């Protein structure tokens, strides 16, 4: 089953423009739980744990503060943000399970906001190393902090440009799934309005024709990016 069908993210009513990533600054197994972080934060006088999500070393995503409330996580930069914390201190001790869980929730957030949201490290607004791990690489962020092509499985073999069919609004099937992976939107094999919007953003960014569906020129550019990513060219 595709885990991305079951995203935990529900868009709050307040405005959100940025997501900030944190680490717990501990590698101790006994600290690997939102309850421990909550206790630390309550001891510091917070009314509730400061983060919206906590990701354990085993990849379990634990909800924290309600998404309807602004976080207490990036002093002076909390408004209009979501805060996610991964358990860990040393760069090499974060786990692939954590990164998978982070990509999954990030993808859910990116989708819910139609890509109009950016991802940042705490270190970008504070003289701290937090979140320590290379979040730009994990989320394939561009220089604006927009989620990149992490939806594509590295090394996955896609058909060639000649083998991929022309697609338009309403198309269905495996080629639409490829398209959705390449555009980094939810994969359901149905080319609907969400996929169309993502395609439009891609076309505008890449200088490709908009509103004609997916033609060989589009596949060439989309598949070329996979080849670049995998070092095949």
Sheet holding 118-121, edge to edge: 61-63, 53-55, 81-86, 18-23, 118-121
130 catalytic per annotation: yes
Ramachandran bin of 50, using left for φ above 0, alpha for ψ from -120 to 50, beta for the remaining angles: alpha
Task: Identify the residue among 130, 139, 222, 226 touching Zn ion (CB under 5 A).
Answer: 130
Tell me, yes or no, if 200 is annotated catalytic.
no
Between 20 and 191, whose beta carbon lies closer to Zn ion?
A: 20
CB of 130 to Zn ion, least distance (A): 3
Number of residues that bind Zn ion (CB under 5 A): 3
Catalytic residue among 23, 53, 110, 130: 130
Nearer to Zn ion, 109 or 130 (CB): 130
Q: Which stretch binds Zn ion (CB under 5 A): 96-104, 130-138, 140-148, 206-214?
A: 130-138
Give the number of other CB atoms < 10 A from CB of residue 127. 5
Q: CB-wise, 118 or 223, nearer to Zn ion?
A: 118
Residue 122 as a binder of Zn ion (CB under 5 A): the answer is yes
Among 4, 22, 56, 178, which residue sits at the site for Zn ion (rule: CB under 5 A)?
22
Pinpoint the alpha helices (H) of 143-209: 174-183, 193-206
Query: Is 86 an interacting residue with respect to Zn ion (CB under 5 A)?
Result: no
Residue 83 CA neighbour count, 13 Å, CB half: 25
What count of other Cβ atoms lies within 10 Å of the Cβ of residue 18?
Answer: 18
Catalytic pick among 22, 52, 110, 178: 22
Query: What are the tokens at 97?
Result: 């399970």
Q: How far apart are CA 96 and CA 157, in angstroms?
A: 22
Nearer to Zn ion, 24 or 180 (CB): 24
Binding site for Zn ion (CB under 5 A): 22, 122, 130
């Amino acid at each position: 089953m595709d885990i991305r069908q079951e995203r935990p993210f529900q868009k709050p009513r307040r405005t959100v423009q940025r997501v900030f990533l944190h680490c717990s600054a501990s590698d101790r197994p006994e600290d690997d739980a939102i309850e421990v972080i909550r206790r630390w934060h309550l001891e510091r006088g917070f009314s509730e744990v400061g983060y919206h999500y906590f990701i354990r070393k085993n990849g379990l995503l634990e909800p924290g503060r309600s998404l309807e409330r602004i976080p207490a996580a990036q002093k002076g930069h909390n408004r209009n943000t979501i805060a996610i914390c991964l358990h860990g201190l040393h760069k090499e001790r974060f786990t692939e399970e954590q990164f998978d869980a982070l990509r999954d929730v990030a993808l859910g957030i990116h989708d819910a906001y139609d890509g109009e949201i950016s991802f940042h490290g705490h270190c970008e607004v504070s003289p701290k190393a937090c979140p320590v791990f290379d979040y730009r690489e994990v989320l394939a962020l561009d220089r604006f902090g927009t989620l990149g092509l992490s939806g594509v499985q590295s090394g996955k073999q896609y058909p060639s440009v000649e083998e991929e069919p022309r697609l338009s609004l309403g198309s269905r099937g495996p080629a639409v799934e490829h398209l959705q992976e390449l555009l980094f939107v939810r994969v359901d094999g149905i080319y609907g309005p969400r996929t169309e919007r993502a395609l439009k953003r891609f076309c505008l960014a890449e200088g490709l024709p908009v509103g004609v569906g997916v033609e060989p020129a589009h596949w060439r550019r989309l598949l070329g990016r996979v080849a670049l990513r995998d070092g095949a060219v």
